[in-house]
Amino acid sequence: MLEYKIKKGPFSSHIKWFSPRPSLQEAFGFYEYRQTLYQKPLLGFQSENFYTIHIDLFNTEESLLANCSKSTRYKIKRARREGMQFTLSNDIEQFVKFYNKFAPTKNMAPISNIDLERVQNELHITQAVYENEILAMHTYFFDKEIKRACLYHTASLFRNVDDSSTRQLIGRANRFLHFEDMLYFKKLGAKNYDLGGYAIDDLNEERQQINEFKKGFGGEIVKEPNYMSYPLYLYVLLKLKK
């Protein structure tokens, strides 16, 4: 289980990932549990269903590639032939700048260095590089205790270019990076690669496209509910009304 704090006005909110079950002792504080193993309503907490895709990293590299869709498999292999490179980074500021150029194209909020610094002990940053240019970047949590790698952020230059061949190249870079990420975490001893969310029963066209992208890597869709203590839930509701 991973845990960190976020300052909310005069209070600190505790966020816990991958817990077996929320603690009833924390129902009266500011606690949020994300992607828990617990599946039932729980007194003192507001629950929300969350779905994601798990990929079993016990499989061999050949099996992981074979489990991808034909299109995804082709694009990964082509990116390798084209000389795409997988690299690691420990530069949080670089990632934040890269992400914040990407975020407006998806109507997503920008992030700050502190968003990643608070989890930097478990944070991994990966890059797909082509001809010395970064085309895609990912961040992950890696919970060594349960041997789980979870996608946290993803960003690419895809939305910032008009040339169709370059857009296709960036699309291949992103698939290549996901697959190389799997192999990287597999070498670190991870058992489970988590694609960071799946929009179940969502009719939004863009989110459906993201779902199809993620399903292209194989894996299993699983439900992992989020829980928020009532005091924190009420605080969030009051902030939204202002």
Residue ranges of the domains in the chain? 2-49+224-241, 52-223
Nearest in space to 179 (alpha carbons), one of 3, 59, 90:
59
Lowest mean pLDDT among 2-6, 81-85, 148-152, 176-180: 2-6
pLDDT of the residue at 203: 81
Q: pTM, whole model, 2 decimals?
A: 0.93
216: helix, strand or coil: coil
**What is the average per-residue pLDDT within 110-127?**
94
At 210, is the pLDDT very low, low, confident or very high (cuts 50, 70, 90)? Answer: very high
pLDDT of the residue at 31: 96
Nearest in space to 133 (alpha carbons), one of 162, 173, 78:
173
Angstrom distance (rounded) from CA 212 to CA 171: 13
Nearest in space to 219 (alpha carbons), one of 67, 76, 71:
67
82-101 pLDDT per residue, tens? 999 999 999 999 999 999 99
Angstrom distance (rounded) from CA 148 to CA 189: 9
Superfamily of domain 52-223: Gcn5-related N-acetyltransferase (GNAT) (3.40.630.30)
pLDDT of the residue at 8: 64
Angstrom distance (rounded) from CA 236 to CA 193: 30
39-63 pLDDT per residue, tens? 999 999 999 999 999 999 999 999 9
pLDDT of the residue at 164: 86
Lowest mean pLDDT among 13-17, 113-117, 202-206: 202-206
Q: Indicate whether 225 pLDDT > 80.
A: yes
Q: Indicate whether 160 pLDDT > 80.
A: no
Which residues contact residue 206 at a Cβ distance below 8 angstroms, ignoring those fewer than 6 apart? Answer: none
Q: Indicate whether 228 pLDDT > 90.
A: yes
Percentage of the chain modeled with pLDDT above 70: 97
Stronger pLDDT, 152 or 162, i.e. the higher one: 152
Segment holding 85, helix H or strand E:
strand 85-89
Nearest in space to 53 (alpha carbons), one of 219, 225, 235:
219
